[in-house]
A and B are shown apart, each in its own frame.
Chain A
Amino acid sequence: MATPSEPHTDFSAILTSGMVPPENEGMFARDVDGRLVRVEKATAQDFDADVRLTIDGHEVVIRKAIPTKDSQGNILQSENGQPIPRFTTIYDAASLAFVKAPGDQHPILTLCHQEHLPPVGVCRICLVELVETSSRGTRRKLVPSCMQQIAEGMEVHTLQSQVDPGAALRVKTAAGVVAELLITDHLPRSDQPSFLSLAEAGRGNELAALAERLGLSQSRYGLRSLDRGLDNSSSMIAVDHNQCIMCGRCIRGCNWVKENRVIGRSGKGYSSRIAFDLDQPMAESSCVSCGECAVSCPTGALEFTPLFLENQESSVKKELASDLRDGQIVPPEELASIPLFQDIPFKFLQFNASSVVRRWLSPGDVLCKEGEYGSTAFVILKGSFRIFLSGARGAVITERSAGLSGFFGGLKTMLKRAGGAPHLSDVGAATLDEGQEIIRDVKDVILGEMTCMNSYPRSATVVANEESEVLEIRRNVLYMLQRNETSRRLLEKAYRERALVGQLRKIPFLSSLDEGARTLAAEFLKDRVDLVAVEPGQTIFEQGEIAKDLYVVKLGFVKVTQRYGQNDRVLNYLGPGNHFGEIGLLGSCGDLLKVHGNVGHVVSRRTATCSALDHVELVRLKGDDFVELLKGYPQLIEPLLSSALALLERDEQSQTRLESAGNQEFLDQGLYLAQSLLVLDLERCTRCDECTKACADTHDGVTRLIRDGLRFDKYLVASSCRSCMDPYCLVGCPVDAIHRSGDSLEIRIEDYCIGCGLCASNCPYGNINMHGFPKTELDPTTNKERPVFELIEGRRLPVVQQRATTCDLCASVDGNPSCVYACPHNAAFRMTGEQLLHSIITNSN
């Protein structure tokens, strides 16, 4: 690597002389007084503590802790709804300081580290030179930047440091030698024995790309002396142990991201390698083929098989053709060159090769229609689009209702219909008033991502305004964009600028302001609010806590419960557009409210517990900013106070009525979300099972419903897909084979389902089942599907492939699903959750 003309790397500054190893005590292990610091978990206070350090001579001031994020870039929250802090590392600090836009080169090289994974520091590629100056003198050492926490007064040098060229050279030489060791053993070789094949560099082999960046083209070391073998047992993923660099990304992907817990390390030292379960071949292990390991792998060690990729592509082509859609599948190589996608692992793009379709639109062409279910978003590459509400009537009003009729207070926005399709103008990305029209272009980056994320119907119609070009991306690609810090920043910026002001304008308590003031108030709030994601079941705040913030629901449903003695009771469910938390917050406004008298009832503590029912995204307004807002617009105070008092009073009254309905289970089971329940009237049902048989007959002999389930009074809710409003099952499918499209409620599972079982385990109601099907492939000569066979012990047997199945709302002769049609006793019905509740209450009265 080092040519004679290059300056000689001088390691004497960081190494002791001769044979003596350097001191092993960690850098910055002690405080300023020289005392060893016990490493505890980061606390919320660390979010506000500033740490000053220099990186390559630039002073950087960064918070001591940043929020922990999951693999989707969502901020993880503790049980009490606060973000979980983690200590900021040198790598994080360098990202924040030097990587501002997608495509910016990170000054620190990495291999085993990925932002969304807990760091392990084993590849030693991300080492930086750290200088510690204290009363005990100055120490220098190479440390893994992915693990070393930042500390006050740190001096960091990367391989780009111009203020300390000696350090930069040491970092570069160290990374160079480590990379050279890796390429010697783990890059596939071309025919020339000492030269390494770098052809892989553009195709996602991060090791080859790293070698290229470091200017390595050959190795000075002896060839690999061990053949660690291949594992071709899986038809989806090929394992080449010789290319494995033991970075542990697949292990963390399998255990930490997916919690499948199949992959681990086996053996010791030079011969160690990854292993599935008890070192079984992949196909014989408990692997569910979710693909996470291959997507995580930085080398050719875990690759999707060509057969698998071909099959995926041909099924998408088939789907495109059957949907009569135009468009061109964008190959992963091309996608990788677009800045927004640049930091996405190549193998993910490859895995989802067919998830991105390029579409060209002429002026007037419709990109999507209001009310359609769509599981895709659109990245605007060229041109501009007009966005408007298609129906002229029935614009959605977000209002809070009282009493039992307001049982679904928050749902109200969802269920009011305009022109047949749910009207969601204040939910999605576009926030429009009736008759209003807005233009979006390349600067807005993306369109339709809200619908894509939450599986709600499209909130507006989008039509090309000129010759335009978009990339239509699936939900899983959008998720991946959110995994990546820089892409995520772009998306969040777009959201803040495009949707947030509109959404804030619609907060009901601002309705007492006139149009102009409301816009000003929303602008005031725009830069002050946080965007927060809450996982199902997590508490946002607890009854009795000191109130700090006010929230607006952006996505999902929030459950409001109150404790009475030993029991919790549900007060309300709040859907998108609703706000909550203002009652407690008003109580803490103190002096501001005194003039209005009658604050006796209003307390500064939370009067109820709020928790997430499903995946919830919130806009959080901090208490201080809320007070500022009220100071600026005192006319808001009076209506807020009276509505708060009314709510408190209503809660008292409604308690008894709620209890008499006695339908806690109805709520707990999430039936309020259901849009199409299969309900059997047990007074009429003779248990003849014709419904089950009809279902099986319609679906290749496999029934998709089970005539058993929850009972309410005389009604049985059978185990069959309920077509939830926000289906959990859609979340996380690695190949996006499960989705909803068009204006059908149906949850569709495509033929290219890989059988990983995630949707089945996601469905809280057990309504998705895994079944073995004979595997088929496209016969190129006849262009028809034919079964696939394999030879097992000399016998030619059909290959059985696991696939998920669920109710597809099949339409039979009379337009009803076959189960309903088949019932000879008129005992089977399809109804929404609300209709069912209504029936139950009517019946019990």
Chain B
Amino acid sequence: MIIPALLERQKRRGGYLNDADLRDVSKEQAVPLHRVQSLVSFYPHFRTQPPPKVEVHVCRDMSCHLRGSLPLTEEVREWASNKHGQQVLVCGVSCLGRCDRAPAASVNEQLYVGRDANQLRQIITSFCDEQPFAPDTDQAWSKKNSANWEMDHYAGQPNYEAVRRYLNDPDPDRVLTALETAGLLGMGGAGGRAFKKWSEVREAKGTSKFIVCNADESEPGTFKDREILLNKPYLIIEGMILSGLVVGASQGWVYVRHEYPEQIASLEAEIQRARQIGLLGANLLGSGRRFDIEIFVSPGNYICGEQTALIEAMENNRAEPRIRPPELVTNGYQNQPTLLNNVETFAWVPAILLRSAGQWYADQGRKHGPWVGNESDKMRGKRLFSISGDVRYPGVYEVETGITLGELIDKRCGGMAEGKRILAVALSGPSGGLVPAVIPLKLLSRRFVETCAPKNATEFDIRELPLDINISRALGLMIGGGLVVYGTGANIIAEAVACSRFFSRESCGKCVPCRIGSQKITHIGERLLQGQLSKSQLPVLRETTLELSQVMTATSICGLGQVASNPLRSLFEYFPQLVEQACED
């Protein structure tokens, strides 16, 4: 176990690893030095130099970027370097998952949100004086978010009823049928049918089977799992136990990002409690069945959220996505059948089983609407959205599948902030690119327009978008758990380029199209942003960008590379006037 060994040494050394540590680990673990180097240089959590006295990380993505985190970082950095020199390091980092309180920053791994330059300066000074400011917590902020979620059938008083019922009368097929009736989809992004994956892992042959909960929520704009982990950890645990019982696994892991310390503590406490009351361990409620859960804290990197990369990280390798086939369902962790689901997918399972065997969940969902067409029956259930940016009340909302974006903004988020209009929406973090308030029909999937568009429609108002993964896909739009709304005043080109930068920074580097392509396409964006392009160059540049984008999507190994070009591509496709205005004559 090289990664745990390195983490342990880093802790002992006081926050970094020196040459001797690395050589010792290589010897202890009987691995070549280059294996140790490959991990230490890949995961941002490892460092080979003593840390400065105060280290400030400011989020540079999406909502934080929109709130001016870049100039903020620059301002504070300049001040700090003048005032404190080498003692204080200020730098930008990828999304910290606090988009609802942008801009987010961490100082020596303590969280500070929604602070301006003045406040940050005070906080830094307090750390320099060794009297640190009290950090902000998710706990203080988040109670209101989840109070009335129907996801929590226990209303905060969990007794693991679904597991108890199962152990009294174990019938895996009943669980699978309920999931199928409910129509629960995977909440990690791909939207596969949950019952199918569970059945497949159940049928897969192996010497043992494993359950993994993907809590490495690192997609900019996405923070819904953060709230479940913090406030409803028992739902995740119960969903995992049930999945273990159904597929025949006796060990599960929650792979969680290290920027979620409160969430890790909350989950850890609930795991301990569940063990004490016999719901985790060698003999679940005296049934003779075994299932236990451990927490695997990620050493960092967005790519770890990619399911095969996550398994690579758990196996002490660089988190580089695998080439498929094989699938994790048959050849996952330790080459054994592995069920990997997102936090939210597991969390819905108890409510689905406890409320009319899935029928209640199936009955949820908006079945009507102008752009629903003949897809209405597929819109089932409820789901969580994290929404941030220029809305009045950013947060996590449990909504019926299929309500429109306009409804979510107006009825749940209190409308747009400061009376702004929508300029653009990112529907799936940066992954789906930026979508304008109004889309000409010719830019939507022609087949969808022919079958589902209301008569006389000439364009598509993004507020009318039903929040459903299948309809969005049919339209040619990607929808995920994190929505970011950009209102009047936002520099859309700057925002798109920032999203593009995110992917080029987070590329693991394994395959060429993503490693170099994401760099080149961002470079095109940077030139556009800096006004270095002329109108005469535009047609060729547009062609080049679209071709590069298509090739990146068609040839990259994993989802990151496949969507990495979307921010720039959406800019050229959906915002041609803005692009033209940004060019010189």
Contacts and interface: CB of A to CB of B under 8 A. Distances in A.
Interface stretch (A261-269, A763-771, A804-812): A261-269
B190 to A, nearest CB: 7
A271 to B, nearest CB: 8
A11 interface: yes
A460 B544 CA distance: 65
Interface in A183-230: 184-185, 220-222, 225
B535 to A, nearest CB: 18
Interface in A792-834: none
A763 to B, nearest CB: 24
Contacts of A279: 37, 41
Contact of A173 (B435, B477, B547): B547
A276 B556 CA distance: 27
A11 B548 CA distance: 12
A147 B41 CA distance: 27
Nearest to A263: B34
Given A17-B445, A26-B325, A263-B34, A37 B516 contact: no
Interface stretch (B57-65, B201-209, B359-367): B201-209
Most buried by A among B41, B190, B553, B556: B41
Nearest to A179: B512
A220 B544 contact: yes
A122 B19 CA distance: 30
A262 B478 contact: no
Interface string A166-185: 00001001100110011011
Contact of B548 (A177, A246, A269, A271): A177
Given A21-B553, A173-B551, A275-B34, A182 B512 contact: yes
Contacts of B527: 222
Interface stretch (A28-36, A386-394, A448-456): A28-36
Given A21-B563, A225-B519, A275 B550 contact: no
A277 B524 contact: no
Contacts of A267: 41-42, 509
Contacts of A173: 547, 551
Given A18-B475, A21-B478, A269-B515, A262 B32 contact: yes
Q: Which among A18, A177, A182, A277 has the greatest number of chain B C-beta atoms within 10 A?
A: A18
Contact of B558 (A9, A24, A144, A185): A24
Nearest to A275: B37
B497 to A, nearest CB: 14
A762 to B, nearest CB: 21
B510 A222 contact: no
Chain A interface mostly: loop
Interface string B33-54: 1111110011000000000000
A505 to B, nearest CB: 49
B61 to A, nearest CB: 16
A27 interface: yes
Interface stretch (B66-74, B224-232, B500-508): B500-508
Given A246-B509, A275-B34, A15 B445 contact: no
Interface string B507-525: 1111111011111100110
A124 B35 CA distance: 24
Contacts of B329: 36
Interface string A6-27: 0001010011111111111111
B550 A11 contact: yes
A18 B551 contact: no
Interface string B426-439: 00100111010000
B553 to A, nearest CB: 6
Nearest to B504: A270
A24 B23 CA distance: 39
B388 to A, nearest CB: 20
Contact of B444 (A15, A18, A127, A181): A18
A158 B41 CA distance: 37
B555 A178 contact: yes
B327 interface: yes
Contacts of A29: 324-327
Contacts of A246: 509, 512, 515
A766 B48 CA distance: 40
B547 to A, nearest CB: 6
A121 B32 contact: no
A184 B476 contact: no
A378 B547 CA distance: 51
A404 interface: no
Contacts of B323: 26, 121, 144, 147
Nearest to B443: A18
A264 B22 contact: no
A39 B553 CA distance: 26
Given A36-B204, A144-B323, A269-B506, A18 B41 contact: no
A277 B33 contact: yes
A16 B473 contact: yes
A19 B433 contact: yes
Contacts of B331: 38-39
B327 A17 contact: no
Contacts of B504: 269-270
A18 B37 contact: no
B476 A272 contact: no
A2 B539 CA distance: 13
B570 interface: yes
Given A127-B555, A272-B515, A264 B34 contact: yes
A170 B554 CA distance: 9
Interface in A143-164: 144, 147
Given A25-B327, A38-B206, A182 B516 contact: yes
Contacts of A21: 431, 478, 553, 559, 562-563
A278 interface: yes
A39 B335 CA distance: 9
Contacts of B548: 177, 221
A123 interface: yes
Interface string B477-489: 1100000000000
A452 to B, nearest CB: 34
B247 to A, nearest CB: 13
A219 B90 CA distance: 37
A733 interface: no
B404 interface: no
Most chain B CB atoms below 10 A, which of A144, A147, A220: A220
Scoring A123, A124, A220, A246 by chain B CB atoms within 10 A of each residue's CB, the highest score goes to: A124
Interface-central residue, A19, A39, A122, by most chain B CB under 10 Å? A19
Given A19-B476, A170-B554, A122 B512 contact: yes
A201 to B, nearest CB: 19
B477 A26 contact: no
Contacts of A245: 512
A234 interface: no
A173 B566 CA distance: 19
Contacts of A673: none
A22 B562 CA distance: 8
Nearest to A4: B543
Given A26-B325, A246-B515, A278-B19, A268 B41 contact: yes
Contacts of A24: 190, 324, 558-559, 562
B392 to A, nearest CB: 27
A272 B516 CA distance: 11
Interface in A28-53: 28-29, 35-39
B204 A38 contact: yes
Contacts of A268: 41-42, 301, 318, 507-509
21 contacts: A2-B543, A15-B554, A21-B559, A24-B558, A37-B325, A122-B512, A124-B513, A174-B555, A181-B516, A184-B516, A222-B520, A222-B523, A222-B527, A246-B515, A255-B32, A262-B33, A262-B34, A266-B37, A266-B41, A267-B42, A286-B33
Given A21-B563, A222-B524, A269-B506, 8 more contacts: A18-B475, A121-B323, A178-B512, A181-B513, A262-B33, A265-B318, A269-B504, A275-B38
6 cross-chain pairs, A with B, having the tightest CB-CB distances, nearest first: A18-B476, A264-B34, A26-B325, A26-B324, A261-B32, A29-B325
